[in-house]
Amino acid sequence: MPSTSDSLTVGLAQIAPVWLNREQTLLKILQRVDEAAAAGCQLVAFGEALLPGYPFWIERTDGARFNSPVQKELHAHYLDQAVQIDAGHLGAVCQAAGHHQIAVVLGIIERPSDRGGHSLYASLVYVATNGVIQSVHRKLMPTHEERLAWSPGDGHGLRVHSLGRFTVGGLNCWENWMPLARAALYGQGEDLHIAIWPGGVHNTQEITRFIAVESRSYVLSVSGLMRAGDFPQETPHLAAILAGGGERFANGGSCIAGPDGAWVVPPVIDEERLIVAVLDHCRVREERQNFDPAGHYSRPDVMQLQVNRQRQSTVNLVD
C-alpha cells in the first residue's frame, strides 16, 4: 500500500457469530474478509468477542450463583470453543489477510497458554497485511457480569500499527471509556481508532463521535449482531438462555465518525452487512491544526502517562 496516498478503504463487518461454535464462526469471518478484499478494502474489522461469541448467558441464567452446575457446564463449553492462538486457530485468518494484503482487526475470546490455558480474555487481534499477528490486546477490565467469564488483561497490547499514512489502534468495548487507555494510544500517534463492541447502538452512538472530537482522528465502531436464530440448537441450556430475551440480543450500531466528529457512516442497526467507506488522511491533518492531544495541545512538563506493556504472568521461568 503506497504510504504517500491519503486514501484508505475500510470495511466494518457487522455480523453475528454462530454462537460458541468456533469453526462455523471462522467460516463467516473468512467470507467477510474475502468480501472486503473484493470491495477494495485495505482493512476489515469485526466486533468484540465475535469469535466464538459474547457470554450472553450470564445475565439470563443466574450467572453469579456460586458453584452452579449450570454455570460450570456453560463455562467449560466456552473454554472448549475459545481461541488458542498458539494452536493455530487463527491460521486461516492470517492466511487470508496475507493473500489479500488486507489488515484484519478481530475480537476473540482468547484462551492463552501463558496464563495456564484455562482462563479467558476478551482480546483484540491485529493481523497485518502480510498475514502476521502484530498485537493481541487483552481487555484491561471486563465490564460488570463479564467478570464472571473473563479475566482482566494487561498493557502488552496497547500498541499502534502503520497502515498506509494512517496509524491504527483499538480498544475493546467499555475500555474505550477509559481516558488513560485512549491517551496511551494517542501518545503513540494513533489517528485511526477502532472501537469494537459485542453490539448495541446504545454503546456506539455517542462515544464514537466523542472519541473522534477528542483525538481529532477517524473512529470506527464495529459491532456484532446477535439474534435468537444465531444460537445453535445444541447450545447447552439454550431454553434458559432464550427465555424472555426477545429476538434481538445485540442490534449492531456499527458506524464511522470523522476527525471533526461528523458522521461518515451513521449507526447501522439490525442489519448483517459489510460497511465500506473511504477515509482521507488529509482530514486528520486539517483537524490537528487547532487541537492535538498528544502534540501541541499537551503539557508533558505537567502531566505524563506511564504505561506498563509487559505481558503479565504468574511464573517467570529461568532455565
The reported pLDDT for the residue numbered 129 is 98
Closest CA to 109 of 54, 186, 41, 146: 54
Instruction: Write out the CATH class of domain 7-287.
Output: alpha beta
Query: E strand or H helix at 299, and its extent?
Result: none
List, in sequence order, every beta strand (DSSP E) within the chain: 7-14, 43-45, 103-110, 121-127, 133-138, 161-163, 166-172, 192-197, 218-223, 225-227, 248-257, 263-269, 273-280
Residue 168 belongs to what H/E stretch? strand 166-172
CB 200 within 8 A of CB 223: yes
Burial 59-96 (b: 16+ CB within 10 A, else e): eebebeeeeeeebeebbebbbebbbebeeebbeebbeb
139 has catalytic annotation: yes
Phi, psi of 84 (to 5 degrees): -110, 105
Catalytic residue check, 48: yes
Q: What is the pLDDT of residues 64-98, one digit of tens each?
A: 999 999 999 999 999 999 999 999 999 999 999 99
Name the pTM for this structure. 0.96
- Residue in 28, 41, 48, 190 annotated catalytic: 48
**Contact partners, residue 38, CB within 8 Å, separation at least 6:** none
Q: What angle do CA 41, 43, 44 make, to 5 degrees?
A: 95
Grid coordinates of 51: 469469535
Task: Give the CA dihedral 31, 35, 40, 41, nearest 10 degrees.
Answer: -50
Q: What is the DSSP letter of 140?
A: S
- Per the annotation, the verdict on 271 as an active-site residue is no
Check 110, 139, 175, 255 and give the catalytic one.
139
Q: What is the number of residues in the chain?
A: 319
Task: Using DSSP bridges, classify how beta strands 166-172 and 192-197 pair: parallel, antiparallel or unpaired.
Answer: parallel
Give the residue carrying C-alpha cell 487483552: 138
Domain boundaries, the chain: 7-287
| Residue 188: Cβ within 10 Å count | 15
How many other C-beta atoms can be found within 10 angstroms of the C-beta atom of residue 212? 25
**Cis (ω within 30 of 0) for the bond into 17?**
no
Is-contact 197 13, C-beta < 8 A?
Answer: no
Which amino acid would we find at residue 69? P
- Which residues of the chain have a pLDDT value below 70? 1-2
Strand order in the sheet with 43-45: 133-138, 121-127, 103-110, 43-45, 7-14, 273-280
In the numeric block, the cell 502484530 is attached to: 134
Ordered DSSP codes for 55-93? -TTGGGTTTT-TT-HHHHHHHHHHHHHSB-GGGTTTHHH
pLDDT given for residue 134 in this prediction: 98
In the block, cell 468484540 appears at 48
How far apart are alpha carbons 266 and 275 in whole angstroms?
11
Q: How many CB atoms lie within 10 A of CB 234?
A: 9
